[in-house]
Amino acid sequence: MQVRQLVVRGYRNLAELEREVPPGGVAILGANAQGKTNLLEAIYYPVLFRSFRGAPDQQIAAWTSAGAAAGFHVDLVLAGAGVRHVGATYVGRKKRITVDGEIIERVTEAVGAWTGVAFLPSDLGLASGPATERRVYLDRLLSLASRTYLRSLSQYRAALVQRNSALRQGQTEVARAFDAPLAEAGAELVRIRAEWASGAAEQFAAEFDCLGESGSAQLIYRGSSELGEASAWSSALQVSLTEDLARGTTTIGPHRHDLVLTIGGRGIREYGSTGQQRSAAVALKLIEIATLRQSLDTEPALLLDDVFAELDRDRQCRLARRLSGPDDRQVFVTSPRADELPPNLELPVWIVQDGKVS
């Protein structure tokens, strides 16, 4: 599934845009602060109907001359099997999502209508950053790949918020009332995560090797494996209750688990070089593409934000070859200048200047 037409209005600093999109994608060029990453973000927005930079919708909307956020609109016309049209409109602090002309009331029902994988400079944190970044990676990927996971994640987060609120207020019985929904949804998350990690471990090692890094690389899901069964939660929550009350938060569950990456048995986060950490992050992104392709039976678009800038030419070309993928993959890549892109990544060019695309 590929984008054939893109409509963007009121999105950050971007001027109104309505353009046909080449089948293979485009290279988006522009100096800093001109809007090239904003354009990439707008293209990605209908994947999860939120910013890939984590910004709330009210911060995305362009500001009027009166100093108020007026709202924004993103619309994609698609080619390929399944969905043909997906759009999102935000105005008056309300978001309206449409898929093939039908208004979708819940974001969870629209996620997966169009899919893409974004690769940002900050993704180095997948290997070098705290566990939170890898949990976000898991939740985003598995939510796109599985509606069961997305539904369970929503239920788990809702129960966790309520339980933690009760814990902070010292309301033991109220907190325990949320143990059952927390257990049911949490067990599903742990089970799906652990199964995914088991299947992804071999590809992680292979991708790491393919990217030219030496050493045996491993990917391991670190968490309480017994919590993959809902029946195990009751005793675990009872054991942790005293500490939970003291801290005012739930201290067990998938919201505290991690995806551990190692090379030669040593943590990449703690002991890996910057090059090894970058390769590990790239490997995770390649696994993300493969997971979505297999789960959704469609080729995800690839959105790359200035990821080649700090690589030498050899590494640029090697990464470009690995990312180019099959003929039906659509690639959107940003760069300040054309000469900072690898020569084997041949794409039509869009220029962004002062928010205008030409």
Region 178-199: mean pLDDT is 97
- 250-302 confidence digits (pLDDT tens): 999 999 999 999 999 999 999 998 888 888 998 999 999 999 999 988 889 99
Say what the pLDDT of residue 308 is.
81
pLDDT surpassing 90 at residue 49: yes
Reduced to 3 states (helix: H, G, I; strand: E, B; else coil), residue 229 is: coil
Cβ–Cβ < 8 Å for 148, 192: yes
Between 129 and 315, name the one with better pLDDT.
129
Higher pLDDT, 322 or 136: 136
Q: Which two tokens stand for residue 178?
A: 């949320």
Average of per-residue pLDDT across 98-124:
90
| Both tokens assigned to 54 | 């984590």
Q: For each of the domains in the chain, give its residue range(s) and CATH number, in order of start.
A: 1-115+298-358 (3.40.50.300), 122-291 (1.20.1050.90)
* Phi/psi of residue 292, nearest 5 degrees: -70, -40
Residue 342 CA to residue 309 CA, distance in Å, equals 10
C-beta separation of 98 from 107 below 8 A: no
- Cβ atoms < 10 Å from Cβ of 344: 11
Instruction: Tell me which residue of 70, 74, 63, 53 sits closest to 9, measured CA to CA.
Output: 74
Q: What is the mean pLDDT of the chain?
A: 91
Instruction: Indicate the SS3 state at residue 30.
Output: coil
Grade residue 43 by pLDDT with cuts at 50, 70 and 90. very high
pLDDT greater at residue 211 or residue 222: 222
φ, ψ (nearest 5 deg) of residue 221? -85, 120
Range scoring the smallest mean pLDDT among 6-10, 65-69, 172-176, 206-210? 65-69
Reported as a pLDDT band with limits 50, 70 and 90, residue 318 is confident
Instruction: Tell me the pTM.
Output: 0.85
Cβ neighbours, 10 Å, residue 19: 14
Q: Is the pLDDT of residue 50 over 70?
A: yes
Q: How far apart are CA 193 and CA 34, in angstroms?
A: 39
Could you give the CA distance from residue 326 to residue 82 in angstroms, rounded to a whole number? Answer: 19
Overall residue count recorded for the chain in this entry: 358
Q: Could you please report the per-residue DSSP string of 45-105?
A: HHHHTS-TT---HHHHBEEPTTS-EEEEEEEEEEESSS--EEEEEEETTEEEEEETTEEES
Q: Is residue 74's pLDDT more than 70?
A: yes
- Residue 112: pLDDT above 70? yes
What pLDDT does 303 receive? 94
Phi-psi region of 217 (alpha: psi -120 to 50; beta: other; left: phi over 0): beta
pLDDT (0 to 100) of residue 92 = 81
Question: Binning pLDDT at 50, 70 and 90, where does residue 79 land?
Answer: confident
What confidence category does residue 68 fall into, taking pLDDT thresholds of 50, 70 and 90? low
Say what the pLDDT of residue 342 is: 86
Lookup: tokens for 97: 């999502």
Ranking 56-65, 94-103, 327-336 by mean pLDDT, the lowest is 56-65
DSSP state of 171: -
Which pLDDT score, from 0 to 100, does residue 66 have? 55
**Tokens linked to 55:** 């910004």
Residues 213-237 have a mean pLDDT of 93
Which amino acid is it at 184? E
> Do residues 180 and 264 lie in contact, with contact meaning Cβ atoms separated by under 8 Å?
no
Residue 138 has pLDDT above 90, yes or no: yes
pLDDT at 245 over 60: yes
**Higher per-residue pLDDT: 317 or 193:** 193
Is the pLDDT at 322 greater than 80, yes or no? Answer: no
Arithmetic mean of pLDDT, 216-230 = 95
Q: Once rounded to an integer, what is the mean pLDDT over residues 226-234?
A: 96
| CA proximity to 113, closest of 149, 88, 130, 134 | 88
* Residue whose tokens read 């590929």: 2
